[in-house]
Amino acid sequence: MSARILVVDDEPQIRRVMRATLTARGYTVSDARSGEEALEKLGQSPQDLVLLDVNMPGMGGLAACRAIRAGFDVGIIMLTVRSAEKDKVEALDAGADDYVTKPFGTPELLARIRAALRRSASIAPAGAQPMIIGEVTIDFQGRQVVIGERHTRLTPKEFDLLWHLVTHANRTITHRDLLHAVWGLEYGGEVEYLRVFVNQLRKKIEPDPANPKYLLTEPWVGYRFQLRGQR
C-alpha cells in the first residue's frame, strides 16, 4: 500500500505540480486549499504525511499545524520561504516534524518525505514494558506519559527521540547520532530540531522542566537520559 500524502497549499499551481510529482513516485496524493479544509479531509480519510505551507489565508500554516498535531497522529513537514532559525523553531514548536525552505528541488523534498515516512510508524517492540521513574510512567506501548492523573500522548517524533535516549540510558548521545537515528542519515546539522523536541519532552516527562532530572543536556555535545542513582 502506497503512503498517503496530503498537500496543503492555497496556490493551485503548486498543488498540481506537487500532486503530479508525488503521484509519479507512487504516492497516493490528495490536496487541500486551506488549513480548515486540511482538517476536514484528515477527519474523513487518514493520511501518513501532511505537506503544509506556512503562508495561507484564513487559518495560517502554524495554526493548522497545531490543530493537526492536537487531533491526528500524522507526520507533518512545513513548507515555507522563511529560512531564519527562529522561523524553523516556530514551526517545530507548532508540531512539525521537519521543515523545508522554498524554493526546494524535487530530490531534496523526496528525501525529506522518505525520511519522514520511515519514522512515522513509531511502535515500541513487542513486550516493551512501561518505565517507572519516580512519579513518571512512560508507557511505550501506549506511547504516552503519565504523571499522577495527567496522561500526555507522545507524537511520533517525540516517541522516536525518547525511545532512542532511553534505550541508551546513562550515555551521552551526540547531536549528529541522535539526528541520524531519529530523522535519518540525511540529517546531521539541524541541532535546533533536537533543542525543540527535547524541550517538548521535558514538558511531558519532567516534574520540573526548567530543572530536568532525566533528559540532560551535555553542552555542545548532545543529550543523555539519566536514570536516577546512576552517573
Give residue 68's identity as a one-letter amino acid code. Answer: I
Q: What is the mean pLDDT of residues 84-107?
A: 89
Is the pLDDT at 190 greater than 50? The verdict is yes
- Grid coordinates standing for 132? 517507572
Residue 125: pLDDT band by 50, 70, 90 thresholds? low
Whether residue 112 sits in one domain with residue 136: no
CATH number, domain with residue 43? 3.40.50.2300
**Angle, alpha carbons 154-156-158 (nearest 5°):** 55
What's the maximum distance between 2 C-alpha atoms anywhere in the chain?
A: 58
Cβ contacts of residue 167 below 8 Å, gap of 6+?
none
Q: Which of 52, 59, 71 shows the shortest CA–CA distance to 116?
A: 52
Is the pLDDT at 229 greater than 70? The verdict is no
Whether residue 152 sits in one domain with residue 112: no
Give residue 66's identity as a one-letter amino acid code. Answer: R
Q: What is the mean pLDDT of residues 68-89?
A: 88
Share above pLDDT 90 across residues of the chain, in percent, rounded to a whole number: 60
Range 78-81 contact pairs with CB under 8 angstroms and sequence separation of 24 or more: 78/52, 78/53, 78/54, 79/9, 79/51, 79/52, 79/53, 79/54, 79/104, 80/53, 80/54, 80/55, 81/54, 81/55
**Domain boundary, last residue among 65, 97, 118:** 118
With respect to residue 174, please indicate whether it lies within any of the assigned structural domains: yes
Please, are residues 69 and 95 in contact by the beta-carbon 8 Å criterion? Answer: yes
**Domain boundary, last residue among 68, 88, 118:** 118
Whether residue 142 sits in one domain with residue 50: no
**Domain boundary, last residue among 93, 118, 143:** 118
Is the pLDDT at 118 greater than 90? The verdict is no
Whether residue 173 sits in one domain with residue 110: no
Is the pLDDT at 124 greater than 90? The verdict is no
With respect to residue 204, please indicate whether it lies within any of the assigned structural domains: yes
With respect to residue 218, please indicate whether it lies within any of the assigned structural domains: yes
Residue 184: pLDDT band by 50, 70, 90 thresholds? confident
pLDDT tens figures, 39-61? 999 999 999 999 999 988 888 99
Whether residue 204 sits in one domain with residue 143: yes
Whether residue 112 sits in one domain with residue 24: yes
What angle do helix axes 156-166 and 175-182 make, rounded to 10 degrees?
130
pLDDT tens figures, 164-179? 999 899 999 999 999 9
What's the CA gap between 229 and 231, in Å, rounded?
7
Please measure the distance between the N-terminal and C-terminal CA atoms of the chain and give it in whole angstroms: 46
With respect to residue 125, please indicate whether it lies within any of the assigned structural domains: no
Is the pLDDT at 108 greater than 70? The verdict is yes
Q: What is the pLDDT of residue 122?
A: 56
Whether residue 52 sits in one domain with residue 98: yes
Q: What is the pLDDT of residue 153?
A: 84
Is the pLDDT at 120 greater than 90? The verdict is no
With respect to residue 124, please indicate whether it lies within any of the assigned structural domains: no
Q: What is the pLDDT of residue 126?
A: 64
Whether residue 67 sits in one domain with residue 15: yes
pLDDT tens figures, 132-157? 888 888 888 888 888 877 888 888 88
Whether residue 114 sits in one domain with residue 137: no
Please, are residues 56 and 31 in contact by the beta-carbon 8 Å criterion? Answer: no
Residue 230: pLDDT band by 50, 70, 90 thresholds? very low
Whether residue 113 sits in one domain with residue 152: no
Q: Which residue has the higher pLDDT, 85 or 192?
A: 192
- Give the domain range for residue 158: 131-225
Q: What is the pLDDT of residue 159?
A: 86
Share above pLDDT 70 across residues of the chain, in percent, rounded to a whole number: 94
Backbone φ, ψ for residue 169 (5° rounding): -55, 145
- Grid coordinates standing for 45? 480519510
- Grid coordinates standing for 88? 524553523
Residue 231: pLDDT band by 50, 70, 90 thresholds? very low
Whether residue 73 sits in one domain with residue 27: yes
CATH number, domain with residue 190? 1.10.10.10
Query: Considering its fold, how many domains does the chain have in total?
Result: 2
Whether residue 108 sits in one domain with residue 10: yes
Backbone φ, ψ for residue 158 (5° rounding): -60, -40
What's the CA gap between 100 and 112, in Å, rounded?
8
